[in-house]
Chain A
Amino acid sequence: MGMLEIQKLSKIYNGKVSTRALNNIDLSIEQGEFVGIMGASGSGKTTLLNMVSTIDTPSSGKILINNQNPHQMKKNQLAQFRRRQLGFVFQDFNLLDTLTIAENIVLPLTLEKKSLREMDQKLKAVAEKLGIVEILNKRTYEVSGGQRQRAAIARATIHSPVLLLADEPTGALDSKSSRNVMEMMEKINQTDGTTTMLVTHDPLAASYCHRVVFIKDGELYNEIHRGQNRQEFFQEIIDMLSFLGGNAHELSAVRV
């Protein structure tokens, strides 16, 4: 039994024309695994992530996180579940402008009303790990995009979640910052053993994963595992993407 179990998951959006966004997805992620989800725009990868992150509800099928089914919980219970068990990293950081970086990072803990000592301890540990100690008292608009994303990762992991979910974390970053952010996520996965699910367009970001799952038109298409060499894995991903339909250039053009 994996840490995250997705069984026969389907999602249909009803409208004037109903759209089948996901069709019969089965996926299992083991404890401590670092899995990337890739696919073209509209392939359904963000829908899948939303479902796992409990923001959206499946039309049929089941999701189990740590043997719990979050979609059977009540709203307030669900919020608490997200707060305690999950960590989120977003493309646009989602940091609050009114707070300092430190306050943003401890936010999940303050909502839990943890003691000040515990918060300070964890803040120090996570800030050192991510190399953002010197910007802790700055405002979000005073630091670079890469630093902001590292702060967001710090916020997502300060409460030691069982599952870290990242939605295009490098989508708004330059290549140097992207690399840096991905190295941080890899580090957290290795040192803390945090199970991580990453949705991305970016082959470079995906090359940090243990395994990359490809989705095409709402269905699982293929998956490839990383060997010893990341460079080789990167090439495999590019090949896979071009095989999927578009060409490498078109698919990796998300960088700003």
Chain B
Amino acid sequence: MSFRQFAFNNIRRNTSAYIAYFLSSSFAVMAFFTYLLFIHHPDIAKAPLGKMASVGMEVASYLTFIFSFLFVLYSISAFLRVRLKEFGILTILGAQRKQLNWLIFLENMIIGTLSVVTGILGGLIFAKLFLLFGENVLELKNLPMYVPVKAIWITIAAFMALFFIMSSMTSFFVRQSKALEMLQGSSKPKKEPKASIWLALLSVVTLSSSVFLLQGKLSEESLLCALLLDLIGLYFFFTQLSVVIIRILKKNRRTYWRGINLLWISELAYKVKDNARMFFMITMVTTMACTSASIVLALKQQAEAMYKDNPFAFTVYSEDQKKPVFTEKIEQTLKNEGITYKKFPIKTMFLNVKELKDQSVNMVRQSEYEGMARSLSLPVIPLQDHETLLIQPTVTKKQLPVDLTHLSFTGKERPELTIKKMYNRTLIGSITLAVVNDHTYDHIAKTYRNKISQDYYYLIPSWNNKKVPTSNSTELKISAELENWNPSVENGLILARGSQYQMTQQGANVVIFVGLFIVAIFSVFIASFLYFKLFSDLQQDKRYYHGLSKIGLSLKEMKRTATNQIALLFYIPIFFAGIQTLVGISILGDAYNTGTLTVGLTAIGIFVAIQTVYFFIVRARYLAQLKNVMV
């Protein structure tokens, strides 16, 4: 038997030990490959997704590779730890360190090569499914299957390099140098986890000051500072504070010394301390994924609301009245298409209000407002001098103070207006409108001549905005044409509500697609990490439960103890990620008006659901193994 044959036979005859490592490596390859297959699709390259989308996809492919790298790294070290005893026996038989490393290198390269092959094959099998999914989410035309030569080459090169580097670094993983230590492997009793009370306190202090910072006024610096404090706090929470908390929990003997609590709470300190870094990583990534998912979905919802609430299909801002190029273009286009429209010229005056700290109003003329009001059947009231009608847009979350009765303006004349009536309606943009009679308007306009802008609003009755437009509707086609039209004029621009909506939708779709992909990969990786963790301790756990079984631990109690332990591994990080996401959303959510909270909860809910599926699979497999040792 040559050395190479020995390595081959090791793998062939001990499939069960290698299978988890092999499968998870294959999965990492498959995920990366499918992703490449998608972004290098010839039709995607031509698709009008814009620069942002392609950059996003590029970034996602690096992220996927980094995850795969960490994942394979972790898998190898877990896998080698299980086999420490075997290496010990080989050392006793006289194998040199060099030979041992060569053996590990060979085995890893064999498994690596196999998993690259299976990963690519698996990726090709699922490719069509993935393309279908992509074309649905991104609302693209049919994506045909193709021969992904480029994707295959990149995958092979990247992962073979990865496995080669990993396999050459094995001496880094197998640190024990004495044969005895290897033989004992992981069966030596572990020391009780220690925690520094000062670092635990630091965790409390940093976490609470992070929360405190977020309560106050938010700026970019304070947000960044809070994030940093949160990171430090969370890290020491898992490595130090958790151990302290468990120690306090153990002091309460009334619950601790009761039934199986004694068994699993005592194990908990070890498991949490062992997995602290992993918990930290999972919590951070899950938080990021859930928070960004909720923000993106909120953006999508907001874009939808904006579209539905905006009665005007086109708006022309700051038209130069001597050369009205934009209005002419719109009217020309609409006429060519045979679409009837109503045009409302409005002179808006953008003013800062003393009573409102961070808000401004657009002041409009009563006569111009009434023109609009009649077409849209809005309330019309008579206004005396220095009286105003306030219209609060529904798309903004900023509320006017309840006791607001007057508006006054900065400037030398300081005219003061009495509010006669107020109602909510999105009319022109997301700024509050103040309607005044023509006389008052002209009077104020004398002072603020430079704040006036001539805008035009186009109402197109045949375009229904109660539903969101489909990608092939006339509105979106004309909107895209008009918005992309770019005359060489200094002032003015056209805003089409359809294009605004479509742009946000597409951007959000790309983010969601990429995000979903990363979350899916990450959650599978997490589950596999935990799986490895559990199964590398399996021999030890088997001995543990075998002994307990002899002194009368029943099968039911074993199941409950083990379930508690596995559940804690799976749900501790998600629990903290959930809390952090909720905090994050409640702060960032202020910037958007529609239900970010519901979206955030849904995002966490989906994540929890996926993890729960994994939890039941892993639990079933683990219990099946332990059941054998129960007498």
CB distance from B275 to the nearest CB of A (A): 15
**Docked complex Cα distance between A106 and B550 (Å):** 16
**Which residue of the partner chain, among B262, B269, B547, B551, contacts A83 with CB atoms under 8 Å?**
B551
Residues of A within 8 A of B357 (CB): none
Residues of A within 8 A of B544 (CB): 96
**Docked complex Cα distance between A79 and B259 (Å):** 14
**Docked complex Cα distance between A198 and B236 (Å):** 51
Q: Does residue B189 face the partner (Cβ distance < 8 Å to A)?
A: yes
CB distance from A166 to the nearest CB of B (A): 13
Q: Is the CB of A88 within 8 A of B189?
A: no
Q: Does residue B270 face the partner (Cβ distance < 8 Å to A)?
A: yes
**Docked complex Cα distance between A108 and B263 (Å):** 11
Residues of A within 8 A of B254 (CB): 116
The size of the chain A interface, using a CB distance under 8 A, is 34
Interface residues of A in 116-162 (CB under 8 A from B): 116, 119, 139-141, 155-156
Residue of B nearest to A93 (CB): B547
**Docked complex Cα distance between A81 and B549 (Å):** 12
Q: Is the CB of B631 within 8 A of A119?
A: no
Q: Is the CB of A141 within 8 A of B189?
A: yes
Q: A75-96, CB under 8 A of B: which get 1 and which 0?
A: 1100111111010101000101
**Docked complex Cα distance between A156 and B263 (Å):** 17
Q: Does residue A103 face the partner (Cβ distance < 8 Å to B)?
A: yes
CB distance from B562 to the nearest CB of A (A): 14
Q: Is the CB of B266 within 8 A of A76?
A: no
**Docked complex Cα distance between A110 and B548 (Å):** 13
Interface-centre pick from B260, B556, B557, B631 (highest chain A CB count, 10 A): B631
Q: Is the CB of B557 within 8 A of A106?
A: no
Q: Is the CB of A107 within 8 A of B550?
A: no
Given contacts A97-B190, A98-B267, A103-B266, whether A75 and B554 have CB atoms under 8 Å apart is: yes
Q: Is the CB of A108 within 8 A of B551?
A: yes
Q: Does residue A53 face the partner (Cβ distance < 8 Å to B)?
A: yes
Q: Is the CB of B189 within 8 A of A119?
A: no
**Docked complex Cα distance between A88 and B262 (Å):** 20
Q: Does residue B555 face the partner (Cβ distance < 8 Å to A)?
A: yes
Residues of B within 8 A of A107 (CB): 262, 551
Q: Is the CB of A82 within 8 A of B258?
A: no
Q: Is the CB of B555 within 8 A of A79?
A: yes
Residue of A nearest to B548 (CB): A96
Q: Is the CB of B258 within 8 A of A110?
A: yes
Residue of B nearest to A106 (CB): B257
Residue of B nearest to A165 (CB): B550
Q: Does residue A176 face the partner (Cβ distance < 8 Å to B)?
A: no
Tell me the total A-B contact number using a CB cutoff of 8 A: 79
**Docked complex Cα distance between A111 and B548 (Å):** 11
Q: Does residue A27 face the partner (Cβ distance < 8 Å to B)?
A: no
**Docked complex Cα distance between A53 and B551 (Å):** 9
Residues of B within 8 A of A76 (CB): 554-556
Residues of A within 8 A of B263 (CB): 96
Residues of B within 8 A of A75 (CB): 554-555
**Docked complex Cα distance between A148 and B74 (Å):** 36
Q: Is the CB of B266 within 8 A of A79?
A: no
Interface-centre pick from B254, B549, B553 (highest chain A CB count, 10 A): B553
Given contacts A94-B547, A98-B266, A116-B253, whether A79 and B189 have CB atoms under 8 Å apart is: no
Q: Is the CB of A140 within 8 A of B551?
A: no
Residues of A within 8 A of B551 (CB): 82-83, 88, 94, 107-108, 155-156
Q: Does residue A254 face the partner (Cβ distance < 8 Å to B)?
A: no
Residues of A within 8 A of B631 (CB): 54-56
**Docked complex Cα distance between A107 and B267 (Å):** 14
Residues of A within 8 A of B261 (CB): 110
Given contacts A111-B259, A111-B260, whether A88 and B550 have CB atoms under 8 Å apart is: yes
Q: Is the CB of A111 within 8 A of B253?
A: no
CB distance from B451 to the nearest CB of A (A): 73
Given contacts A55-B631, A113-B258, whether A97 and B550 have CB atoms under 8 Å apart is: no
CB distance from A29 to the nearest CB of B (A): 20
Q: Does residue B220 face the partner (Cβ distance < 8 Å to A)?
A: no
Q: Is the CB of A99 within 8 A of B554?
A: no
CB distance from B9 to the nearest CB of A (A): 24
Q: Does residue B324 face the partner (Cβ distance < 8 Å to A)?
A: no
Q: Is the CB of B557 within 8 A of A111?
A: yes
Residues of A within 8 A of B552 (CB): 79-84, 86, 108, 111
Interface-centre pick from B189, B257, B554, B557 (highest chain A CB count, 10 A): B257
Q: Does residue B192 face the partner (Cβ distance < 8 Å to A)?
A: yes
Residues of A within 8 A of B557 (CB): 79, 111
Q: Is the CB of A119 within 8 A of B257?
A: yes
Interface residues of B in 545-583 (CB under 8 A from A): 547-557
Interface residues of B in 229-271 (CB under 8 A from A): 253-254, 257-263, 266-267, 269-270
Q: Is the CB of A79 within 8 A of B547?
A: no
Q: Is the CB of A111 within 8 A of B257?
A: no
CB distance from B450 to the nearest CB of A (A): 76
17 other A-B residue contacts (CB within 8 Å) besides A86-B552, A111-B553: A55-B550, A76-B554, A79-B552, A79-B553, A79-B555, A83-B551, A94-B551, A96-B547, A97-B190, A98-B269, A103-B262, A103-B266, A108-B551, A108-B552, A139-B189, A155-B551, A156-B551
Query: What are 28 sample pairs from A and B whose C-beta atoms fall under 8 A apart?
Result: A55-B631, A56-B631, A76-B554, A76-B555, A76-B556, A79-B555, A79-B557, A80-B554, A82-B550, A82-B552, A84-B552, A86-B552, A88-B550, A88-B551, A90-B547, A96-B263, A96-B266, A96-B547, A98-B267, A103-B257, A106-B257, A106-B262, A110-B258, A111-B553, A111-B557, A113-B258, A113-B259, A116-B257
The 8 closest A-B pairs by CB, nearest first: A83-B552, A79-B554, A97-B189, A82-B552, A94-B547, A98-B266, A55-B631, A141-B189
